[in-house]
């Protein structure tokens, strides 16, 4: 059964369940209300702009796989979380072993080549041993 709450769609409801703007523009027959078509463009396709309906090109994403060995002092620290947050990487733990005083992780990362290089440098500065695993 459809929801009849205040936020649901229904007669007199506009896009995404919102009411049309107040005033004469929302009156029937005045030609006002919501703009025609799919909505307002969010970027002008002027010089250097991206044509409407097309995605902006981004830096090419690359993947890497690493074996990380952590020193005892970092075992309880959110190191992998920081890789994702600080270096804008997507991380995927493929395998790990954490014991008292020793930890290692097989980690897949995805991001720009520059971000991955910066992250590996940061890990080494923190005392993490980083070995790149070559995909066969």
What's the pLDDT tens digit per position in 2-40?
A: 555 555 555 555 555 555 555 555 455 555 555 555 665
Radius of gyration of the chain (CA): 26
Percentage of residues of the chain with pLDDT beyond 70? 56
What count of Cα atoms within 13 Å lies in the side-chain half-sphere of residue 109?
28
pLDDT digits (tens, 9 = 90+) for 65-80: 999 999 999 999 999 9
Q: What are the residue ranges spanned by the domains of the chain?
A: 62-132
Percentage of residues of the chain with pLDDT beyond 90? 51
pLDDT higher than 80, residue 82: yes
DSSP per-residue codes, 59-119: PPPEEEEEEEEE-GGGTTS-HHHHHHHHH--EEEEEEEEEETTEEEEEEEEEE-HHHHHHH
**CATH 2.40.30.10 given to domain 62-132:** no
pLDDT for residue 118: 98
């Amino acid at each position: 059964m459809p929801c009849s709450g205040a936020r649901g769609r229904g007669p007199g409801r506009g896009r995404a369940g919102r009411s049309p703007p107040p005033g004469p523009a929302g009156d029937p027959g005045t030609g006002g209300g919501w703009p025609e078509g799919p909505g307002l463009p969010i970027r002008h396709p002027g010089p250097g702009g991206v044509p409407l309906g097309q995605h902006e090109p981004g830096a090419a994403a690359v993947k890497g796989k690493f074996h990380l060995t952590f020193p005892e002092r970092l075992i309880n620290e959110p190191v992998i979380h920081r890789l994702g947050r600080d270096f804008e990487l997507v991380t995927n733990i493929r395998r790990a072993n954490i014991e008292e005083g020793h930890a290692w992780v097989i980690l897949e990362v995805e991001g720009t080549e520059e971000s991955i290089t910066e992250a590996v440098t940061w890990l080494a500065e923190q005392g993490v041993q980083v070995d790149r695993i070559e995909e066969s």
